[in-house]
Amino acid sequence: MTDKRLDSSTPDEPSGFVRALDERGDATVGTVGQGLAPATTRRANPVSRLIGHPAFGWIVIALAVALPFINSSAYAIRISTDALIFIMLAVGLNVVVGYCGLLDLGYAAFFAIGAYTSGVLSTTFGWPIVLTVPFVIVAAVIGGLIIGGPTLRLRSDYLAIVTLGFGEIIRITANNLDFTGGPNGVYGIPDFGDFGDYRADIATYWIVVVVVGLAVLASSRLGRGRLGRAWRFVREDEDAAEAMGIHTYKVKFAAYVTGAIFGGLGGVLFAVHQTAISPPSFNFLFSALILMAVVLGGMGSTPGVVVGAVIISLLPELLRGAENWRYLIFGILLIVVMIFRPQGIWPHRTDEKPARGGRRRSRTDATEVSQ
Amino acid sequence: MTNVLEVKDLVVNYGKVEALKGLSLTVGAAETVSLLGNNGAGKSTTVGTISGVVRAGSGSVTAFGKDVTNAKPWDLVEMGIIHVPEGRRIFSRLTVHENLQIGGYTVTDGKAIDTRIKEVYELLPRLAERRNQQGGTLSGGEQQMLAIGRAMIAAPRLLMLDEPSMGLAPLMVAQVMDVVRSITEQGTAVLLIEQNARAALKVASRGYVLDSGTVTIEGSADELRADPRVVEAYLGA
């Protein structure tokens, strides 16, 4: 009704409303209506200020390196190494799920590919572990190409199902092939080398600390670069990202293969640490636990994912006192955390700080615009 | 004058449905051309095909003298053909500033991106005020401005706007059209897809009316405004 009254005139004789629009002058460009008011910046509480401090990461690394001097019991070293390897997997999966938004339910497949490649090459041919690493990377990339190639053209739900199947295929294949040892798996996998006076498990622990530390650093840097930005855009809106000139397929592929390499290298560490690997280690539950570490910690946030991985891998150990109840308590705790902190324990900040140079630059152009 | 964009006898099928049945149109340099039509006339299919999202059945699309009928979206963006999709499609969880930065994804010169972002902030001061707000918290009009601003960062030579007035109050429609006008004045060719014929014909120099996949009426904006069929169907006599 209202429209009719407004638009009742012919186009040659605009209505009063249209005339008013025409005559309002040209000073109003861009001053469109009111959105929500700018959010007030919250004051950071002391805890988040502490953990946000640049030195915090170094303190954590120093503690990790110093652990054998604090508690050198075989048990402490063992569960810490497990936790570190789990961190490696979680940051790798974080690239795929957290950065790029590709739901991968079979991530343990790459872990298995890495562990088996390294284990088989080192036991059958007697190669040192370090020499198997390039082959592990190649195998992981090939695995990523085989599974990612056809499926990354699909959207998330399909990818989730296909990766789920892929995870199972790898495990069942390992269970049935001869050179992988069938259900017995591969055993007698050597250490990284001979470290003389040092205890072998502590030497392995230190190597794992270094490798995982580098992996965490690499994944966090990847997330902030040009590629990382493209991943985030694809995650937020694939179509719009494409309209902005992002080669979405290539970018998704890069995320998937990066995740595969992280998983494969995690497998190498696992093989050395366990000295024996067998198919049940790579079941669906394991993929789900890695995914849980990512979601629990905060998707797309490197520190969050590290915290999530530590919790997921150490909590069952800390709950040993609860005997048979420990997995029930573990599950309940996870549910409680997800209800009260659905964004994760340490979520990715949306108001990401630009790089130091960038921050200065944006401050200057803010003042110029406001003139 | 060479044409920025030439579409010739374009046919597009969605399965058995013929969305475009031999559509032809041209956009000249620094010209604003409006594409009008009802829902389902094939407007969005047309831009979709030009920008490489939809596959053409037959016919050809030529941009800047090069055949781009089967080009991929990212290649077209490199060529300076930017598509602002229907429904704005801004990144609602990223800040205004980040949204603008993504517009420069294909631009390798960081300084150029910064200058252009500054230009966009000058053209659209409201965005500068809200640079650190999440895109999703902006009003519809601001989101549309952001979508257009984001496209401008890539320094388009041909800008395709798919229904920028959708869901906006009349006053904001006029403001969006003002922005479109100033973009044309900077020398960018614009293909403006609209339902709002009144607003579109005010900024466009020429126009095409689409009906069931073909061009039924074409002419200058003044001719279209005076055409009784356009008046009846779109302008409401």
A360 burial via Cβ count (<10 Å: 0-12, 13-18, 19+)? exposed
Q: Does residue A12 surpass a pLDDT of 70?
A: no
Longest dimension (CA), chain A: 96
* Residue B109 in domain: no
Q: Which two tokens stand for residue A364?
A: 């200057």
Least confident piece of the model among A80-89, A316-325, B213-222: A316-325
The one-letter code for the residue type at B27 is V
Q: Round to whole Å and give the CA distance between A158 and B217.
A: 44
Least confident piece of the model among A44-58, A83-97, A195-209, A282-296: A44-58
Size of interface A-B (CB pairs under 8 A): 151
CB A276 within 8 A of CB A185: yes
Percent of chain A with pLDDT over 70: 81
Average pLDDT of chain B is 87
CB crowding A117-134: b at 16 or more within 10 Å, else e: bbbbbbbeeeeebeebbe
Q: What is the pLDDT of residues A127-184, one digit of tens each?
A: 999 999 999 999 999 999 988 888 888 776 788 888 999 999 999 999 999 888 888 9
Average pLDDT of chain A is 81
* Residue B137 in domain: no
Query: Model confidence at A72, in pLDDT bands (50, 70, 90)?
Result: confident
* Residue B41 in domain: yes
Q: Which two tokens stand for residue A197?
A: 């006076």
pLDDT at B191: 93
* Residue B147 in domain: no
* Residue B191 in domain: yes
- As a whole number, mean pLDDT of residues A220-238 equals 89
pLDDT at A256: 93
Quote the DSSP letter at residue B95. Answer: B
A349 Cβ under 8 Å from any chain B Cβ: no
Q: Round to whole Å and give the CA distance between B6 and A271.
A: 61
Q: What's the order of all strands across the beta sheet hosting B189-194?
A: B81-84, B158-162, B189-194, B32-37, B206-211, B214-220
Q: What is the pLDDT of residues A247-304, one digit of tens each?
A: 999 999 999 999 999 999 999 999 999 999 999 999 999 999 999 999 999 888 899 9
Query: Model confidence at A195, in pLDDT bands (50, 70, 90)?
Result: confident
Of A156, A184, A150, nearest to A278 by C-alpha is: A184
Least confident piece of the model among A2-6, B151-155, B212-216: A2-6
CB A331 within 8 A of CB A292: no
Contact A369 B91 (CB under 8 A): no
Pairing of strands B189-194, B158-162: parallel
Range with top average pLDDT, A127-131, A137-141, A201-205, B65-69: A137-141
Q: Round to whole Å and give the CA distance between B174 and B202.
A: 9
C-alpha atoms less than 13 angstroms from C-alpha of A154 in its C-beta half-sphere: 15
Range with top average pLDDT, A317-331, A342-356, B17-31, B101-115: B17-31
Query: Model confidence at A43, in pLDDT bands (50, 70, 90)?
Result: low
Of B169, B101, B179, B171, nearest to B140 by C-alpha is: B169
DSSP codes of every residue in A3-45 = HHHHT-S-TTS--HHHHHHHTT-STTTT-----PPPPPPPPPP
Interface probe with B: pick from A4, A32, A348, A364, most Cβ of B within 10 Å:
A32
Q: Does residue A10 surpass a pLDDT of 50?
A: no
Q: What is the pLDDT of residues B127-146, one digit of tens each?
A: 888 888 888 888 888 888 89
Stronger pLDDT, A43 or A336, i.e. the higher one: A336
Q: Give long-range contacts, CB 8 A cutoff, 24+ apart: A330-336.
A: A334/A292, A334/A296
By Cβ distance, the residue of A30, A351, A370 closest to B95 is A351
Q: Does residue A14 surpass a pLDDT of 60?
A: no
pLDDT at A53: 72
A27 Cβ under 8 Å from any chain B Cβ: no
Query: Model confidence at A58, in pLDDT bands (50, 70, 90)?
Result: confident
Q: Does residue A19 surpass a pLDDT of 60?
A: no
Residues from chain B that touch A241, judged by Cβ atoms under 8 A, are 102
pLDDT at A361: 41
What's the Cα-to-Cα distance from B68 to each of A189, B21, B75, B82, B83, rounded to whole Å?
56, 19, 9, 14, 14
Stronger pLDDT, A310 or A6, i.e. the higher one: A310
**B167 by DSSP, 3-state: which?**
coil
Pairing of strands B189-194, B32-37: parallel
**Both ends of chain A: CA-CA distance in Å?**
44
Q: Which residue has the tokens 């990144």?
A: B91
pLDDT at A34: 43
Q: Round to whole Å and give the CA distance between B160 and B151.
A: 9
Q: Round to whole Å and give the CA distance between B216 and A105.
A: 52
Query: Model confidence at A15, in pLDDT bands (50, 70, 90)?
Result: low
Phi then psi for residue A23, to 5 deg, are: -90, 0
Q: Does residue A223 surpass a pLDDT of 90?
A: no
Q: What is the pLDDT of residues B174-229, one digit of tens each?
A: 888 888 888 888 889 999 998 888 888 888 999 999 888 889 889 998 888 888 88
Pairing of strands B32-37, B206-211: parallel
**B77: CB partners within 8 A, 6+ apart:** A243, A244, A245, B106, B154
Q: Chain B neighbours among A 241-280 (CB < 8 Å)?
A: 241-247
Q: Chain B neighbours among A 198-237 (CB < 8 Å)?
A: 226, 229-230, 232-233, 236-237
Q: Estimate the crossing angle of helix B140-153 against helix B96-103, to 10 degrees.
A: 30
Residues from chain A that touch B84, judged by Cβ atoms under 8 A, are 243
Quote the DSSP letter at residue A186. Answer: E
Q: What is the CATH number of the domain that holds B207?
A: 3.40.50.300
Stronger pLDDT, B32 or A362, i.e. the higher one: B32
Q: Which two tokens stand for residue A195?
A: 């470290």
Residues from chain B that touch A33, judged by Cβ atoms under 8 A, are 139, 141-142, 169, 171-172
B51 Cβ under 8 Å from any chain A Cβ: yes
Q: Round to whole Å and give the CA distance between A183 and B28.
A: 70
Q: Estimate the crossing angle of helix A284-297 against helix A74-93, to 10 degrees.
A: 80
Contact A369 B95 (CB under 8 A): no
Contact A239 B53 (CB under 8 A): yes
* Residue B82 in domain: yes
Q: Chain B neighbours among A 134-163 (CB < 8 Å)?
A: none
The one-letter code for the residue type at B167 is G
CB A148 within 8 A of CB A163: no
Length of chain A: 371
Least confident piece of the model among A68-82, A229-243, A351-365, B18-32: A351-365
Range with top average pLDDT, A58-72, A259-273, A310-324, B89-103: A259-273
Q: Does residue B23 surpass a pLDDT of 50?
A: yes
Contact A236 B128 (CB under 8 A): no
Query: Model confidence at B236, in pLDDT bands (50, 70, 90)?
Result: low
* Residue B117 in domain: no
A18 Cβ under 8 Å from any chain B Cβ: yes
Q: Which residue has the tokens 């800008």?
A: B159
**A71: CB partners within 8 A, 6+ apart:** none
By Cβ distance, the residue of A11, A30, A240 closest to B145 is A30
| ipTM for the whole predicted complex goes beyond 0.85 | no
B195 Cβ under 8 Å from any chain A Cβ: no
Angle at alpha carbon of residue A167, lines to A318 and A134, rounded to 5°: 90
Q: Does residue A11 surpass a pLDDT of 60?
A: no
Stronger pLDDT, B22 or A360, i.e. the higher one: B22
Alpha-carbon A144 to chain mean position: 16
Pairing of strands B58-63, B17-28: unpaired
DSSP codes of every residue in B49-61 = HHTTSS--SEEEE
Q: Which two tokens stand for residue A33?
A: 């209506």
pLDDT at A21: 46
CB B34 within 8 A of CB B204: yes
Contact B125 A30 (CB under 8 A): yes
Domain region containing B59: 3-89+156-235
Q: Chain A neighbours among B 112-171 (CB < 8 Å)?
A: 114, 117-118, 121-134, 137-139, 141-142, 144-145, 150, 154, 169-171
pLDDT at A56: 81
CB A277 within 8 A of CB A119: yes
A361 Cβ under 8 Å from any chain B Cβ: yes
**A107 by DSSP, 3-state: which?**
coil
Query: Model confidence at A44, in pLDDT bands (50, 70, 90)?
Result: low
Number of domains observed in the structure of chain B = 1
